[in-house]
A and B are shown apart, each in its own frame.
Chain A
Amino acid sequence: MTTSGSIIRVQNLHKWFGELHVLKGIDLEVKAGEKVCIMGPSGSGKSTLLRCLNFLEEPSKGIVFLDDLPVGYIEDADGKRRRDTESNINRMRARMGVVFQSFNLWTHMTASANIVEAPIHVNGLSRQAANEKALSLLRLVGLEDKKDAYPAQLSGGQQQRIAIARALAMDPEIMLFDEPTSALDPELVGEVLAVMSELARGGMTMIVVTHDMGFASAVADRIVFMDHGQVVEEGPPSTFFQQPKNERTIQFLAKMTSRPF
């Protein structure tokens, strides 16, 4: 096995939903501390790619490596692979924090209960340690006063910040964001992006599916542009936004910049 120094390595990833070929051979590498933004039109397979990274979707072909270990599979000495055990898959998943477009907080639990749930029941943290951690994370996202609030009592922006705190509570090695601000009213987008920028400054490895060009230019080391299940262009924000080469990238960016906001 070669050590590549990358946290995430995606190799020739394919995904079919029945007849629908959604991912058509994705290759992607993300190094520790790197921030990668994924852009692309609706239906291009961005969410599916993210869900394959932590095996929420099982790849049809190809493979994802987390720290050079295959996610969801065990490789025999002769390179044959079979499905990993449920508990090993769960252990892999616990190392990646996920933030969803629709927050997906557990609505029957308070903000702090949401945050301590997985650390206690998956990582085996003591309740007291988990509570202390939750408190410091609530402070980080600016919501200490909301620790006993239920999700239904919070604004979208507040819910998403709690969702970020919940993911961070697992001490993830990498954070995956799937359009974290797309479901928010425009005036609430800023508070969530501020938390994410803060996280980026702290050195977190991040993969962010986003349409926010401001955030992507400011934070991303690299932009990956997807269309029809393929990576069609990739590069640092400066070249990506100012000198896009691919025809589809140019069209997409033109459409983005002509939108009202």
Chain B
Amino acid sequence: MTLEWQYVAHALPFLLEGTLITVEVSLLAVALGLLVGILVVLGRQSRFKILRALIIAYISIVRGTPLFIQILIVYYALPALGLDIPRFESGVIALSLNSGAYISEMIRGGLMAIPKGQLDAARAFGMRSGLIWRRITLPQVLVLILPPLTMEFTGLLKSSALLSVIGLVELTRRAQQVIGETLRSPEVWLATAALYFIMCFALGTVTRRLEKAAAAYRL
């Protein structure tokens, strides 16, 4: 069988629409995941034992079950509890809850790498703990975790393909639709793979520059 690329040229605008959704969903998920990660780390330092236990349970569940199942649970099980969440939002929630658990572990690692003396100095000058977090700890942790965070973002971009299962019309789902109309599966899947690859490659280039700029102070 020969590959006939005119089908791809025809399908490209549709695939790009899907690409846009993939980018949107992953960006939102990594941003919310970062927020969840920060809250989880703060929650683990809390005085409340129940909160700490809940957080540890959340992290073990996320790490011990397939993302695929987590997506299905958010989309199909939450409505059963009376929460009706649209596809896009379900996707973002599932991915960011998943991501947040991993990002919280990165942040914990980053926290340990910050010299205790810097925090002593901040306390000695009368800085409140919230202020120390915002001004001293967090900025340094974010720079420290930028490399693994980039990997997490790349992973999210690829994992978002799983959201096709709940009918979110992101890149993979779009590709399936295009194939349904054109019946040209090999070309469309190759084009789809190329689009994922370009996204990940571009992301890698951008973040390498970002890492360099952000870490200027570390020489």
Provide the bound-state CA to CA distance between A118 and B128, in Å: 10
Nearest CB of A to B137, in Å:
10
Instruction: List residues of A (97-130) whose CB comes within 8 Å of B's CBs.
Output: 98, 100, 102-109, 117-118, 121-122
A153: contacting residue among B115, B124, B219, CB under 8 A: B219
Q: A98-B121, A117-B135 are in contact. Are A107 and B217 (CB under 8 A)?
A: yes
Is B127 positioned at the interface, with any CB of A under 8 Å from its CB? yes
User: Considering residues B118, B125, B126, B128, which has the most beta carbons from chain A within 10 angstroms of its beta carbon?
Assistant: B125
> Is B139 among interface residues, defined by CB-CB distance under 8 A?
yes
Interchain CB contact under 8 A, B121 and A93: no
Q: Give A114's nearest chain B residue, CB to CB.
A: B121
State which of A90, A105, A106, A166 has its C-beta within 8 Å of the C-beta of B128.
A90
Tell me the complex Cα distance, A102–B122, Å.
Answer: 14
Residue with the greatest number of chain B CB neighbours at <10 A, chosen from A87, A104, A109: A104
Interface residues on chain A, number (Cβ under 8 Å): 32
A153: chain B residues at CB < 8 Å are 219
Cα A91 to Cα B127 with chains together (Å):
9
Give the interface SS of chain B, mostly helix, strand, loop or mixed. Answer: helix
Neighbouring A residues of B54 by C-beta, 8 Å:
none
- Whether the Cβ atoms of A87 and B217 lie closer than 8 Å is no
Chain A residues whose C-beta falls within 8 Å of the C-beta of B128 in the assembled complex: 86-87, 90
Q: Is the CB of A118 within 8 A of B126?
A: yes
- The answer, yes or no, to whether A256 is at the interface (CB within 8 Å) is no
Within the complex, the shortest CB–CB distance from A112 to chain B, in Å, comes to 13
Check if A94 is an interface residue, CB within 8 A of chain B. yes
Residues of A within 8 A of B125 (CB): 93-94, 98, 117-118, 122, 166-167, 170
Chain A nearest CB from B127 CB (Å) reads 6
Distance between Cα atoms of A92 and B219 in the complex (Å): 36
Whether the Cβ atoms of A107 and B140 lie closer than 8 Å is: yes
Q: Assess A121 versus B135: contact at CB under 8 Å? Given A106-B118, A152-B219.
A: yes
Tell me the nearest residue of chain B to A123, going by C-beta: B126
Given the complex, which residues of B lie within 8 Å of A107, measured CB to CB?
115, 118, 140, 217-218
Contact A56 B140 (CB under 8 A): no
Inter-chain contacts of B117 with A (CB < 8 A): 100, 102-104
Shortest CB distance B211–A (Å)? 14
State the Cβ distance, B123 to closest chain A Cβ, in Å: 6
- Is A104 in contact with B127, judged by CB distance below 8 angstroms? no
Closest 8 CB pairs of A and B: A94-B126, A104-B117, A118-B125, A90-B126, A104-B121, A150-B217, A98-B124, A93-B126
List 28 contacting pairs A-B, 8 Å CB cutoff, sorted by A: A54-B124, A56-B120, A56-B124, A86-B128, A87-B128, A90-B128, A93-B123, A93-B124, A94-B125, A96-B124, A98-B124, A100-B121, A103-B117, A104-B117, A104-B118, A104-B121, A106-B118, A106-B122, A107-B118, A107-B217, A108-B140, A108-B217, A121-B131, A150-B216, A150-B217, A151-B217, A152-B217, A167-B125
Residues of A within 8 A of B (CB): 54, 56, 86-87, 90-94, 96, 98, 100, 102-109, 117-118, 121-122, 150-153, 163, 166-167, 170
